[in-house]
């Protein structure tokens, strides 16, 4: 998975603190693939590879990345420390941890001091899905085709509710 370029000209970088985060973070990548958004995915650990994290954050904008999705669990420093070293938007995904079910991850990521924002999602798979959708939404502010694709996605969700109600009848 390391430094795996999934498509050309990546616009989103999906980074995670460990390969054990992939099961969660794959849900963000599924959304990016569904919307045909080019992305890269990479394991970068805030505490095991701090120099790599700094190099990645400092160079991301020059490489054409527009949004960073960062997932981590436990004492989850990766999203905040990445945000500290780039002015790109960073979306943090709290990965469900073994010890505290992700509450530790959530609080580590969400409570950024004013000045360095991290847009934090819910814990776990839903959070990763929403991180992908939020990245698409950010990109859609200057891409009308993506904006239309998001409208279509919302309509699909609406249709699913209507279908489930029809089954109740």
Q: Is residue 99 within 8 Å of residue 74, measured between CB atoms?
A: yes
Q: Is 48 annotated as a binding residue?
A: yes
Nearest distance from residue 4's CB to ligand RP5, in Å? 17
The nearer residue to ligand RP5, 53 or 112, going by C-beta atoms, is 53
Nearest distance from residue 18's CB to ligand RP5, in Å? 3
Handedness of CA 93, 154, 33, 65 (dihedral sign): negative
Q: What is the spatial distance between Cα 48 and Cα 50, in angstroms, rounded to a whole number? A: 6
Nearest distance from residue 21's CB to ligand RP5, in Å? 5
The nearer residue to ligand RP5, 29 or 139, going by C-beta atoms, is 29
Q: Is 18 annotated as a binding residue?
A: yes
Place of tokens 């934090």: 120
Q: Is 21 annotated as a binding residue?
A: yes
The nearer residue to ligand RP5, 20 or 155, going by C-beta atoms, is 20
Place of tokens 């070293």: 85
Nearest distance from residue 123's CB to ligand RP5, in Å? 11
Q: What is the spatial distance between Cα 91 and Cα 134, in angstroms, rounded to a whole number? A: 8
The nearer residue to ligand RP5, 74 or 132, going by C-beta atoms, is 74
Q: What is the spatial distance between Cα 82 and Cα 69, in angstroms, rounded to a whole number? A: 10
Handedness of CA 127, 128, 130, 131 (dihedral sign): positive
List contacts with ligand RP5 (CB under 6 A). Answer: 17-18, 20-21, 45, 72-74, 95
């Amino acid at each position: 998975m390391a430094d795996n370029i999934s498509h050309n000209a990546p616009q989103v970088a999906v980074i995670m603190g460990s390969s054990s985060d992939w099961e969660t973070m794959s849900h963000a990548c599924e959304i990016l693939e569904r919307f045909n958004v080019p992305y890269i995915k990479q394991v970068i650990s805030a505490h095991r590879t701090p120099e790599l994290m700094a190099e990645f954050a400092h160079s991301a904008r020059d490489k054409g990345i527009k949004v960073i999705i960062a997932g981590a669990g436990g004492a989850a420093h990766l999203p905040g420390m990445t945000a500290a070293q780039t002015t790109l938007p960073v979306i943090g995904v709290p990965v469900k941890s073994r010890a505290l079910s992700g509450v530790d991850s959530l609080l580590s990521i969400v409570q950024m001091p004013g000045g360095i924002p991290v847009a934090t999602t819910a814990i776990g798979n839903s959070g990763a899905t929403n991180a992908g959708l939020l990245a698409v939404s950010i990109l859609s502010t200057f891409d009308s085709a993506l904006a239309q694709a998001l409208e279509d996605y919302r309509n699909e969700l609406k249709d699913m509710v209507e279908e489930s109600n029809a089954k109740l009848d």
